[in-house]
Structure 1
Amino acid sequence: MTSRPDILCIGAMLWDVIGRAPRRMAPGADVPGRIRHIPGGVALNVAVALLRWGLAPAVLSAVGRDPEGAALVAEAERLGVITGWLSRDTGLPTDCYMGIEDSQGLIAAIADAHSLEQAGDAILAPLSADLAGWTGAVVLDGNLTEDLLSAIARDPRLALADLRVVPASPGKAERLEPLIAARRGCFYLNRLEAEILAGRACPDAATAAEAVVARGAARVLVTDGPHPAAEAIANGPTLTLPPPPVSVARVTGAGDCFLAAHLAAGLSNQPREAALRQAVEASAAHVSGKDVP
């Protein structure tokens, strides 16, 4: 029997192919660098980061029975992620993400999450079986379709769950609208994603977080690269905190580390200020090429 998890991470579990050059790149550049082929996807990235905080996460996602899927599941299990409730019999190939980074950060990326999107609510089947009555934390990522996110906002199986929501990319931020309209979840956004949801440009993370709260979200955290991060809540003060200066070694997955660290702090009943600090420091450590704790 699969062990009972502490947290459910629902969304993308795929292979990341990340190319990184140690210099600035112009459009069309062809430069030396390194290419890594590593387990990824927002749901899996958050799960792996949660393991570092002593938590037991399970991923609900769609992973093919192709060689790529078998290798991905084996690696996730080796890391300690609970994979016993994955949707495997979809007849679909395992998804993949390809990103290009230079010394300043992400240049461009393509996410092929078609298998996850086509699997739809099949990935939620365990909520009617082994995981019925779930009242714990649930991480949702924007690689899920807007229709599925809308259904989750109304799903009685998750009515008492603590939803933590991340869009996965600016291009998918609008998929979160149903959850904002339903006033469900705590949202983790970068400033561009927050601006998309707010419907206007914002000068900083605090303004952006407050703008999304004004749209109906109860709690919003916004990061802004090397600039101060912020947390805004309905009917409460907004917090801000600058990240420590670091040299950029990688950027993919930084937001996932931020979410995991903040969630772990909340589950250990740390106050808002301490939770934000833990999240900011964990994200900065990831960007610098280190992992915490």
Structure 2
Amino acid sequence: MSPSFESPVIALGAIHYDTIAHGAEVIRPETSTPARFHAKPGGVATNVSRNLSRLGVQTKLIGTVGDDAAAQILKEQLGEEGIEHFTVTRSGFSTGQYLALHDPDGSLKAACVDDRILSEAPADLFSDIVDRLSATADEKTIWFVDANLPAPMLEGLASQIQTGRLMANAVSDAKSRRLKPLLSRLDCLYLNRGEAAALTGLPASAGPDEISSALVDAGLKAFVLTDGPSGIIVSNKGLITRLTPENTDVVDVTGAGDALTAGSLAAVSKGYALEEAVRFGLRAAALTLASTGALAETLSWEALNVF
């Protein structure tokens, strides 16, 4: 039986149309490589929302799309998956797109993204929607933002959202810096070692303990710091917990970090403490690594609730 979640999630961020290519052999430059292509919804906030919906969490997604065919495809699929979405159409812009090339072992060889529709958006693009949804939010509501949002928009949203918990994903080394003015306002930040180094100004060679200390000193209440197969550090109100990822055969690395975020958010919404919730996120990430794309077909709360 699916659990009854108490905390809804409102996600704000990227809505992309992803094209994922899996090479039948190692991808080489300056020539074509036989491959299998898959087209699916993407973007951090979208990936997290799709995973949350599959886990039975009441989820709302706020983002922007163009007035093109990709937008219509995305909106139809999100609706079919039970995600209540609030999209702002920006005429003259293409819906965000992401192209990834994977070698046969599932590793990412190269990727490109066109996110001008969001990166060049005005700071108040979602203000009216957030005002409407804030009217029914309470202290249990989880607001989730990704750093695909421009820095002025992130700062404005952090000021606008007064009720509920605010959590974020750093997205990339470059985009993580957009969150710096928000750190003391966040209830939790999900990021990897490279993103944390960029955010704190530490060198990439800095160790996880040094990075963790810098994040605490920067004002973060809680964070989930990933370092690939080396492990995960969860910091929550001064308590440090170290976790080890599951071993799994990797098919595709796309969306594994987003699945970790979603799995742990789902558990937090049910009332688990962050350090326990991340165990569910690690299970979700393992299922995603063994699948193609950012949403594992085998994902369910029952598949995660094995502890």
* Fold agreement, TM-score > 0.5: yes
Native 8 Å contact 2:24 2:33 kept in 1: no
Give, in whole Å, the separation in 1 of the partners of 2:215 and 2:280: 23
Q: Which amino acid aligns with 1:230?
A: I
Alignment correspondent of 1:151? 156
Alignment correspondent of 1:92? 93
Alignment correspondent of 2:20? 18
The answer to whether structure 1 residue 138 and structure 2 residue 143 are counterparts is yes
Match of 1:106 among 67, 87, 108: 108
Change (3 A) 1:222 1:166: same
Alignment correspondent of 2:216? 213
Give, in whole Å, the separation in 1 of the partners of 2:132 and 2:112: 34
Q: Which amino acid aligns with 2:144?
A: V
Match of 2:167 among 164, 167, 173: 164
* Alpha-carbon offset, residue 22 of structure 1: 5.4
Change (3 A) 1:65 1:50: same
Alignment correspondent of 2:57? 55
Deviations 1:82-132 (A, max 9, x none): 12x211254532111112222252222222111123333222311223543
For 1:25-104, what aligned pairs fall within 5 Å after superposition? 25=27, 28=30, 30-83=32-85, 85-88=86-89, 90-102=91-103, 103=105
In structure 2, the residue corresponding to 1:227 is in which secondary structure? Answer: coil
Alignment correspondent of 2:305? none
* Alpha-carbon offset, residue 150 of structure 1: 1.6
Aligned length: 284
In the alignment, structure 2 segments of 5+ residues that lack a partner are: 1-6, 301-307
Give, in whole Å, the separation in 2 of the partners of 1:280 and 1:210: 23
Give, in whole Å, the separation in 2 of the partners of 1:268 and 1:150: 28
Native 8 Å contact 1:6 1:137 kept in 2: yes
Query: Which structure would you say has the larger RCO, counting Cα contacts within 8 Å and 6 or more residues apart?
Result: 2
Tell me how large the CA RMSD over aligned residues is: 2.2
TM-score normalised per structure 2: 0.85
Give, in whole Å, the separation in 2 of the partners of 1:193 and 1:22: 31
In the alignment, structure 1 segments of 5+ residues that lack a partner are: none
Deviations 1:200-252 (A, max 9, x none): 23555454333212221111101122221111134x22111111111211111
Give, in whole Å, the separation in 1 of the partners of 2:131 and 2:276: 36
